[in-house]
Every structure is written in C-alpha cells, then in structure tokens.
Chain A
Amino acid sequence: MSARVEITLTVNGERVTRGVEPRRHLVDFLRLDLGLTGSHAGCEHGVCGACTVRVDGDIVRGCLVLAASLDGADVTTIEGLTDSGEAEDLQAAFVARNAAQCGFCTPGMVMAAADILRHHPEATRDEIREHLSGNYCRCTGYQAIVDAVEQTLVARRGDAR
C-alpha cells in the first residue's frame, strides 16, 4: 500500500522507532509490530474497549488511533502498567474478587479502572459503573469488576487518611 511513515515514540518507557503503514491503527501496531499482545482487538470500531491504552496520560481506544499520528507520544499498555506496579493493588483486587473470567476484556478494563484511580479517587459505585461503561465484558455481569475497583478506591482512601 502507500508509503510507510516513520514514527518515534515512547512505549512503556522504552523509545521505539518504526516505519508504519498510514492505515495501521495503534492496537495492531502494539500487537503486530511490538509484540505487546496484552492489548486486544475486540470490535475495531471503538465500542468494546478491549484495546484501551493510555496515550499521553489519557486512556484511548487503540483501534481508533492511527499509529502514524503518534510520533513523539508516550504510550502505556497493560504490560507497562503492570511493570510499573502502579495498579498492583487494583490487579490484586481483580484476582481476589474473581473480576475476570475469560480475561479478554480484562487488560482494557484494568486500564480504564486505573484511570479512575488516577483521576477520580472519590468515585462512587455508580460513577465507577459509568466510567467503565465503554468496556464490554460478556462474562462477569460487571458486579465483581465494580466491587474490585470500589475496594481498591476505598483502600487507597483509607491509606491516605
């Protein structure tokens, strides 16, 4: 297809340079070019949230962002979030509460939930549900996920006081 675009960006704290087709979206770039298979392609039209990753501090749909537009960007995926330990308590709460079943939505769900921890530490149960309502889970019924996020928020608020 058309000529490749060279981009240099930071992914999980590591600088990477690649030539990408203009049509390559971010989740394909992560999975196919960088081998970061933790982010998943679920619908590839921005509804299901399985490809949720963080770009320059905000969560985005990896299927709606073209890799070619990310020269200079700072991208964090589930692999980077895990390595940093930033959401270790959240991930432990997901395990303890069985807030994942098949796990295909889980990396995106954890990325979206980690965004609540960063930006909305006082979120109520309804606000957690609202914030996660762009992430489709077919297995759990959502209640365990909401429980895990709420428990993490409560524990962090307790630690801060």
Chain B
Amino acid sequence: MNEITPASIGLSREDLPNSYIGRSVPRPNLPKLVQGRAAYTDDVTLPRMVQAAFLRSPHAHARILAIDTSAALQVPGVLRVFTGADLAKVCDPWVATLDHLKGMKSAPQYPLPLDRATWQGEPVVAVVADSRAAAEDGVAALAVEWEPLPAQLDMETALDPGAVVIHPELGDNLVFTRTAEKGDVAAAMAAAHKVVEATFLTGRHTGVTLEARSIIADWNRADETLTVHHSTQAPHMMQGVFAKQLRMEEGAVRVICKDVGGSFGIKVHVYPDEVAVAAMSRILGRPVKFVADRFESFVSDIHARDHRITGRIAVDAEGRILAFDIDDRTGIGPYSVYPRTSAIEGNQVVNLCGGPYDFANYRCTTTVVLQNKTPTCQYRAVGHPIATAVTEGLVDLAAEALGLDPIEIRRRNLIRDDAYPYTSPPGMRFEGLSHHAALDKLLAMVPVERIRADQAEQRKRGVYRGLGFASFIELTNPSPFMYGIGGARISAQDGATVRMDPDGSVVVMSGVTEQGQGTEGILRQIVAHGVGVPLERVKVITGDTQTTPYGGGTWACRGAGIGGEAALQSAIALKQQILVVAGAMLQAAPETLDIRMGQVVERETGRERMPLGELGRIVYFRGDTLPKDLPRELVQTRHFITKEYPFAFTNGIQACWAEVDTDTGMVKVLEHWCVEDCGRVINPLLVDEQIRGGIVQGLGGALYEHCVYDEQGNLLTTTMADYLVPMSAEMPEMHVGHVETPTQESLLGAKGAGEAGTAGAPAALMNAINDALRPLGARVTEQPFTPARILRALGTI
C-alpha cells in the first residue's frame, strides 16, 4: 500500500484553492470539439498519401479460386491491387489465444486471406488509388471467382456431428470452455424451497462508433520508420502489433492517436484491414489511408454479446439464494480476435454471474464456438450486461415465485457492506463494495410508492407500466491477470511524466488515452491538484508512443484508476522536487514550504514566497546561481500497477420505469436511475454523463440493436436505417447517484465508471417490462425486446 497519505503531503479535497479532485470543472478539450476544430484521423492529410478500399467477401464461407485485377488496374486513379499472397510477403499471421485460458484454440489470421473467406464482409482484396472514390471504382472492377462453401452459422449446432468445421486443422469448432464450480449445486437444488429456470438471449450487437475505424500508415524508407495515425484506444499495444507482424523493431514504429470519435472497446482490437494498410504502406513506401464506411463498419467492426444462457436459481422459503446453475453458449465468428481473444466475454459471464449476492453453491459453464459470422470480441462492459441480465432476471423470477418484493429479495441476499474482503463463488476477490448503501441511496431517489400507485391506477385504464431493478458488479482497474499472464503484450501498468517549464506551467504526458470520456480532463485536475497550480497552467499530452510513457491505453475502465494514480504520483514527486529547489533558493527547509495556485508559499501561514515562473527562470536560465550539487530536474515519471487485487470491482444498482404498449409491443422508457460506487469521484460532471451514456448504450442493446443474419449468413442490418440505435427522443431522463468506497490500493482511490451504466441497464429494463406484463401472464427474456417479441409473449401474434 501507499505510504503517502493526503495529510502527509498537505493535500485535501477541501482546504486548498487548487484542490480539484472531486470538482465539476469543464474539460480542456471541449472548446475545440464544439467549434469543429478537433483533429480525427480522417482529418489528417499527408504528402503523397493514397487511399485504400477493400473488396469484401459476399459469401459467409467460400474458396477464392481466382482474382482478376486487370480491369481494376485500368481504372483512372488506381495505383495498385493487393491480394493476401502479396501482403503475406511482408506480414506474418497472428493467432489469438491466451495461455491462461486452458485449452483455448484459434486459427492463424492473415491481413487478407490466402485462399478462403470465412465471413460475409471479410476483406479479401485491397485497391489503392489516389482517392477513396477511385479506389472504390477499382474494387467494383475486380473480378473474383468464388466457390461457395457450406457455412456454419448456428452456434447451437457448431459442435454437432456433421457441423462444418471452419478450420479443419483445429479438429472442431470449439474455441474454449470453462466451468466454475463451488459447493454442491445438485444438493442445493434438491433441498431448495423453489427452483426457477429461464433461458435468456442477448442479441448480437456492435459498437457503432460515430467515427468509423480510421488509419493512416506511413512507411518512410529514408529513416526506416513506420508512423501510424490511428483511431485507437491502445497506441502502445498497436505499436507492438505493427512491429511484430511487419517484422520490425518496436522502436521503428510510432503510433499517433489524435482525437478519437468514440471507441467503446471497438478500437482496441487488431483488424485485418488495418494491418493490411500498414503492410501496403510498407510495400509502397508512402502513406496509405483507410477509413471504413458505415457498411464496412457493420460487417467488420467486432460484434459482441451473441449468447444463449440457460439458468436456474434455487432459493429457500425465506428467499435466500442457495444456488445458481448456469450454462452459457456464445458464437464468436471464424477467428478469435487478436490479441485480447474472443473467449474473454464468455469467461466474464462465468466470473460475474451471481456477483452481487452472498450464496454458497455455484456452477457456470461457458462454451465458446466458431461460426461463419463477423468476429466478436470485447465491447463496452464485456460480459457484464449478460451476467447481470441472467442474474437479475433469475432473482426477479425467484421473487415472483416466492411472492416477495423485488427490493426485499435483493436486500436479503446482497453481500453485506461489512463483509469485505470477500471472495465470490467463481473466485472473484472484492476489496470493498457497498451494495446495501447503494440500494438505500437508490430508494431515496426513486419514488417507489408513487410509482406503484401510478402503476395500479394505470393498469385500471389498460396502460401497463413496470418498475425493474438490477444490482451489478463491474470489473475495473485490471492487473496483468486479465491478459498479461496469458502471454499478451497488453500493459496493465501505466505511466505519467509531469514536468515544469520555465514559465511555471506544467505538462503531463500519459500512457492512457482520450476517446471522449474525459481522460485528459481528469489528468489535468489530478496534476493541478498534485503539483499545486491552477488548472489552466496544466497541459495534457496523450496518444503518441514517441512522447508518452509506455502504457496500456484505455480498456476495462482503467484510465482514472491506473493512469490517474500514475499522474498523481508523478505530480507529487514533481512538487517535492520543486520544493527542494525552492528551499535552496529561499534558504528554508523544503518541508516548511508548499505550492498553492502556482506560488511557493510558507506551509503554515500560506504567505507567498515566490511564483513558480521565477523558480523556473532561475533553474532553466540561471542555474549558475544555485548550489552546485542541488538536484534540479523539474520532471518526474511514475508508473502505477495494482498489486493487491487482480481487479478493483465496483458495484451499483439501477432502476428502470417503463411503459409497454400492449397493442403495438412498443416499449417507452419513462425514467431511469443509477447509483454506483466507483470509489473516488474525480469529476462528478464527467462521471454522471458517462454513466448516462452507458445506460443509453445498454438500453439500445436491450431495445433496438441487433445484427441480424439471413440463412446464408448475410448480415441484413448494414445501414443505420436497419440497425437502430437510441436517439434523443426515445431516451429517458436519467438520475445518477454515487456511493464512494475508495480503493485502498492507491492514494487517489479511484475505480472505473465507464461500464457501469451498460452493465445494469438491460437487466433493469427487462425486469421493468416483465413487471409491466406480469398481470397479463407474459414474460420476455430475449434481447432485444422488439415489438414482435413482446407481442409474441402476449400471444397477440
């Protein structure tokens, strides 16, 4: 644990004017966003830059017999055409497995396939031209001769005898399976007062970042460096990937990540078309740009959450949970996605089911299989919305079977707030959670009595409204136990360098990245707080592997908890170094001095002694006047990694108030609440809206979003008119509250908040819909809860 305490360094949240932690201050990068002055990857233009477009497989599974490029090469503006064989000369394939996922297997994947396409939308041939339009003209002129092959689409039959084995060398379509077992589930079920069972579907959906995946790769033969402008969450990871696959030293690759137009996990994976762009630049020796269009995004961005889950819950007569018994199956497409793998989502379901509750007997199996659809991988709140929907759906069914109020059954079973540290049946270790405090806070916000009265009144008039609850846990601040121990070069550590310049201003360079969640905003607050300067004096630099300390970037809610702590520690170190210099200049003991609002002051009295700009002037320009042996490095770097717990779990609870139109099957969310505990809240304004955005993303998946395939494996939802996303008119007013249980692993005490909204919203909505439909004897457990599914549940159609 950390020996530095807030008191020991004179920090508190209240007593200093530059105590910014916990304050709702605006983000520094907002003015450019609202004025249209941001710089996304597609806004970057380089000399001699060319554009790439891809011919994508029209078949779910087909052999490539021949590729005729002659007509394409005649198209005005077209420069080159690349096939899989062309790129394999400079680029090695990758295999996405993790050693700690026992028995996991997947097949080698090339930037463009050598002889076979395995999903509709897979990039197969690349055309490079002087404009994107010309490149698309070139794609239209390509002639590919295909031999369509039988496709394995249904995950339920993927392991049956007679299934199409997508990669014959693997033997079968099984990627990974794991069972977690604790206690005696069979005995608990046999002895239970009630056992309730249900099957849940979570519809395959995708991220729909408004800025599509974008990349410019620029191989410079003169200095033998590859510079990649990339819309990514993880610049350092991608630096390593490009270097390894293209057979270069990591130091020869620089990844620059300017503004990113949304990520949500979509932009933390290795995509074959993006590696192809780097390989093409390596061959051409000039910059190549590729920006996916919306059709390409739908067929080639990772999908997620394609799960069927059958679950049973056993309860005693008092409503105490005795056991969960869960079977999960998921189809992940034809390849596990590099380097995080596509087995993690199923693994998370095993880790997280039953998570908020205190119970003894647990069995959960996930079975991860291949299929000829777009690959799936980690997307915001990986596995959480699935586990929460299953858990909370079963808890509500148990309450119904017992005649218990949904709030009461949760109160009886949520892990007590004084029970920590606590280890859950599948082995997750919780440092400190606050389920009961969160429930109490939620009930102070949700007018339950008024809602129940309204519900009864409305029912008399044939209007069906329901109130649903969902408790959840969220995995944040990951350690190397998530990926590193499995052999992936994914950094769980992160770093920050903080320096003071001659004018007394401060620059922080961080390995965590900004995609809109406010990373740069909170880093500025933390560093201003830690050094003791006004916010405006701090500049934040992220997203450049050449200038920032090595780090993991953005994933699994780690920006504030890991990157923020590294920034705080380096800011404190810089402050201490400044005070050593100031002590020498002012002939005072450093510990009698402090820095407040950019001034060196006497710690006791607050009397101003010297502005930092004066200290900077002396150090940088008149170092001759300082004692010869005085250390004067006004720059400090610290790294941070969690060591005590594999993950910092957070918790929370949501409530959803919704109305179901029983004639049309349409659902209207009327109001939504969330109380969550992400430890120290650094900026309530940012956290609250991030929670709301997460809720809306969860509601979108639960109500509208669905990647629908036809029987041949063609994706039918490839426009935003077919794949519906939540818009402002459909979305409710949302109320957000917090309980703060800081992690003791860091001085800052922050955990992650970015996935909490998405983790719980689908389950809360499902329970609200089922609460509304209960008098009609109807129930839905298959997401998305479309009008057709609701009308079928009602027996109307």
Chain B residue at smallest Cβ distance from A47: B720
Interface string of A92-123 (1 = CB under 8 A from B): 00111111111111110010000000000000
User: Quick check: which of B57-65, B148-156, B257-265 contacts chain A, the rest being far away?
Assistant: B257-265
How many whole Å from A51's CB to the nearest CB in chain B?
11
**Does B375 lie at the interface of the complex (its beta carbon under 8 Å from any beta carbon of A)?**
no
Asked whether B26 lies within 8 Å of A42 as measured between CB atoms, the reply is no
> Considering only CB atoms and an 8 Å cut-off, how many residues of chain B contact the other chain?
60
List B contacts of A50 (CB < 8 A): 210
Residues A101 and B690 in contact, CB atoms below 8 Å apart: yes
- Pick from B261, B690, B727: contact of A103, CB under 8 Å: B261
Asked if A91 and B35 make an inter-chain contact with CB atoms under 8 angstroms apart, the answer reads: yes
* Contact in complex: A104, B210 (CB < 8 Å): yes
Known: A130-B729, A141-B696, A141-B731. A105 touches B210 (CB 8 A): yes
A96 to B27, CA, bound (A): 9
Known contacts A95-B26, A98-B518, A106-B33; A140/B210 CB under 8 A: no
Contact check, B294 vs A43: say whether CB atoms are below 8 A apart. Answer: yes
Q: Measured between C-beta atoms, what is the minimum distance from A100 to chain B in Å?
A: 5
Say yes or no: is B421 at the interface (Cβ < 8 Å to chain A): no
Residue in B30, B76, B210, B694 whose beta carbon sits within 8 Å of that of A95 in the complex: B30
A138-B210 contact given A104-B262, A130-B729, CB 8 Å threshold: yes
Contact of B211 among A97, A104, A132, A143 (CB under 8 A): A104
In B202-219, which residues have CB < 8 Å from any A CB? 207-212
Q: Are A45 and B721 in contact (CB under 8 A)?
A: yes
How distant is the Cα of A130 from the Cα of B730 in the complex, in angstroms?
A: 9
Query: In the complex, what distance in Å separates the CA atom of A49 from the CA atom of B540?
Result: 30
Contact of A100 with B37 in the complex, beta carbons under 8 Å: no
Return the CB mask of B683-698 against A: 1 if under 8 Å, else 0: 0011001111111110
- Whether B137 and A140, one on each chain, are in contact in the complex, defined by CB atoms closer than 8 angstroms, is no
Complex partner residue of A132 from B209, B263, B728, CB under 8 angstroms: B728
B40 close to chain A: CB less than 8 A:
yes
Cα of A50 to Cα of B293 in the assembled complex, Å:
13
Give the contact-size bracket for chain A.
35 or more
Binary contact readout B710-731 vs A (1 if CB under 8 angstroms, 0 otherwise): 0000000001110001011111
Interface mask (A27-60 → B, CB under 8 Å = 1, otherwise 0): 0000100001111111111011010000000000
Say whether A3 faces chain B, with CB atoms less than 8 Å apart: no
Q: Does A11 contact B (CB under 8 A)?
A: no
Q: A136-B725, A140-B693 known; A45 and B720 CB under 8 Å?
A: yes
Q: Are B36 and A78 in contact (CB under 8 A)?
A: yes
A160 CB-CB contact with B under 8 Å: no
Give the shortest distance, in Å, between B139 (CB) and chain A (any CB).
Answer: 14
Contact across chains for A37 and B210 when beta carbons are under 8 A apart: no
Inter-chain contact A38/B35, CB cutoff 8 Å? yes
Is the beta-carbon distance between A77 and B36 smaller than 8 angstroms? yes
* B34 lies within 8 A of A94 (CB): yes
Q: Does A137 contact B (CB under 8 A)?
A: yes
A36 to B37, CA, bound (A): 9
- Check A79–B137 contact: CB distance below 8 A: no
B694: which A residues are within 8 A, CB to CB?
141
B693 near A141 with CB under 8 A, answer yes
Considering only residues 1-32 of chain A, those with a C-beta below 8 Å from chain B are: 1, 21, 23, 31
Is B516 an interface residue when CB atoms closer than 8 A count as contact? yes
What are 28 A-B pairs at a CB distance below 8 A? A21-B133, A23-B133, A43-B720, A44-B293, A47-B720, A47-B721, A79-B35, A100-B34, A100-B516, A101-B515, A102-B262, A102-B263, A103-B34, A103-B259, A104-B211, A106-B36, A129-B731, A130-B728, A134-B727, A135-B727, A137-B728, A138-B208, A138-B209, A138-B725, A141-B731, A142-B696, A142-B728, A142-B731
Known: A23-B133, A104-B211, A144-B692. 15 other contacts (CB 8 A): A39-B36, A40-B210, A95-B26, A95-B27, A101-B689, A106-B34, A135-B727, A135-B728, A138-B262, A139-B517, A140-B689, A141-B731, A142-B727, A142-B731, A143-B689
Report which B residues bind A (CB closer than 8 A).
26-27, 29-40, 42-43, 76, 133, 137, 207-212, 259-264, 293-294, 515-518, 685-686, 689-697, 719-721, 725, 727-731, 733-734, 757
Closest 10 CB pairs of A and B: A38-B36, A102-B516, A103-B33, A141-B692, A104-B261, A101-B516, A78-B36, A133-B729, A47-B720, A142-B728
